[in-house]
Amino acid sequence: MFFNKKKNNEIDSFDLVKIAALLIHAARIDEKYSIEEEEIIKKTLLNLGTNQSELETIIKEAKQSEKNTHQILDFTKEIKKLQEKDKIKIIKSLWRIIYSNKDADIYETNLMRRLSGLLYIDSKTMGDIKEQIKKENL
């Protein structure tokens, strides 16, 4: 596993692996992990500062991490420390993954309810983001 040190408010590679693992977990929760969902994950990581050259390594490590972890707390304990704007980007991507197949099942909505508390995102913000992404995908 590789790790880059943080500079200023940058997100380091350790955090990016955790973010990717959480996004992969959301994509796999309905047992329908699609190419479209993987593209959303890649775009999110690039938007958060991943270098194109590190992208595949981060995703590979994140898939392994997600496969070996049974608790989302392993992913969220570092993510909750990020700046609010970065957490919002992650929440938007999670909803994009969920609505990429035009529907949210009970497992996906339960995951987002739990993440709201774990990432310190108030329910109004979470609901507003959900509705925005839902409208984009209809």
The predicted-structure confidence for 30-71, as pLDDT tens digits, reads as follows 888 999 999 999 999 999 999 999 999 999 999 999 999 888
Rounded distance, CA 67 to CA 33, Å?
Answer: 13
Q: Does 108 fall in a domain?
A: yes
Q: Does 71 fall in a domain?
A: yes
Q: Does 84 fall in a domain?
A: yes
Q: Does 6 fall in a domain?
A: no
If pLDDT is split at 50, 70 and 90, which confidence band does 112 have? very high
Give the CATH number for residue 29: 1.10.3680.10
Q: Is the pLDDT at 5 greater than 50, yes or no?
A: no
Number of domains in the chain: 1
Rounded distance, CA 4 to CA 113, Å?
Answer: 31
Q: Is the pLDDT at 4 greater than 80, yes or no?
A: no
Q: Position 77: which residue type?
A: K
Domain boundaries, position 89: 13-136
